[in-house]
């Protein structure tokens, strides 16, 4: 089972959602993202939000279409996306994909990137990806990983999320590295590329943000 969560970020940054609509997929709407799903003829199984970003008419439309809605007071400790992600993790899917979580307000973007830490802090092995038209973002803890070339996302960047990332090694990349130490704020591992269909990256300490992107 895969869970796709659509928030209310700018629609022009969304990829083609039909590319992510396999039979084993559950859709979840967050605030205005529920409206965006319904306008694309995708009915979410559940909706989360305070719905302060939809009009009264749009909210009535949503209520008439979605069977299960989790409504919250705008003054709360969690963001709507966090509430939806926590629910999704409880369902124990093989993967969670977050859409509509970039663009617009910078504080929302940073908060959504940091939400990728939630499964790591909970020792949950579910892979969570933040996806928009130009980017795929995910986090990795220390280990060794194989990464496959995606023709539509030629650039691969590794950004420290922790103060230090130790022992980073890149093989099969245009700019390889061997047992390199990088610190928070380093741009050493920005805009690399695979030189074959597969490469590997590994590191021994810290947390990395992995960003696959194109211009």
pLDDT in tens, 6-59: 998 899 999 999 999 888 899 999 999 999 999 999 999 999 988 888 888 888
Q: Do the strands 164-171 and 198-203 form a parallel or antiparallel pair, or are they unpaired?
A: antiparallel
What the chain holds in terms of domains, given with CATH numbers, is: 2-133 (3.40.50.10240), 139-213 (3.40.50.10240)
Question: What's the N-to-C CA distance of the chain in angstroms?
Answer: 31
Sign of CA dihedral 114, 2, 58, 9: positive
Q: Residue 104 pLDDT more than 80? A: no
* pLDDT of 75 above 80: no
**pLDDT value, residue 36:** 93
Q: Report pLDDT for 37.
A: 94
Please report which confidence band the pLDDT of residue 105 belongs to, taking 50, 70 and 90 as the band edges. confident
Q: Which residues touch 175 (CB under 8 Å, ≥6 apart)?
A: 192, 193
The answer to whether residue 101 scores a pLDDT higher than 90 is: yes
| Sheet architecture: strand order including 177-183 | 143-148, 198-203, 164-171, 177-183
Mean pLDDT over residues 89-97, rounded? 95
| Mean pLDDT across 110-135 | 92
Residue 74 has pLDDT above 80, yes or no: no
Q: Please tell me whether residue 32 adopts helix, strand or coil conformation.
A: helix
Q: How confident is the model at residue 211 (pLDDT cuts 50, 70, 90)?
A: very high
User: Across residues 184-189, what is the average pLDDT?
Assistant: 92
Give, to the nearest 10 degrees, the angle between helix 106-115 and helix 80-90. Answer: 20
The per-residue pLDDT for 22 is: 83
């Amino acid at each position: 089972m895969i869970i796709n969560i659509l928030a209310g970020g700018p629609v022009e940054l969304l990829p083609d959602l039909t590319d992510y609509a396999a039979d084993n997929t559950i859709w979840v709407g967050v605030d205005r993202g529920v409206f965006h799903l319904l306008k694309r003829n995708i009915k979410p199984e559940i909706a989360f939000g305070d719905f302060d970003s939809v009009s009264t008419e749009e909210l009535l439309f949503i209520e008439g279409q979605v069977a299960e809605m989790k409504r919250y007071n705008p003054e709360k400790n969690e963001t709507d996306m966090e509430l939806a992600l926590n629910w999704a993790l409880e369902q124990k899917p093989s993967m969670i994909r977050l859409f509509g979580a970039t663009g617009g307000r910078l504080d929302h973007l940073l908060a959504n990137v940091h939400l990728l830490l939630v499964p790591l802090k909970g020792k949950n092995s579910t892979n969570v990806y933040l996806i928009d038209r130009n980017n795929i973002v995910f986090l990795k803890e220390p280990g060794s990983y194989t990464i496959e070339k995606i023709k539509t996302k030629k650039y691969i960047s590794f950004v420290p999320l922790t103060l230090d990332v130790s022992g980073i090694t890149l093989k099969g990349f245009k700019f390889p590295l061997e047992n390199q130490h990088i610190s928070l704020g380093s741009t050493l591992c920005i805009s690399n590329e695979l030189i074959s269909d597969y490469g590997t990256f590994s590191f021994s300490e810290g947390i990395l943000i992995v960003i696959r992107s194109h211009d």
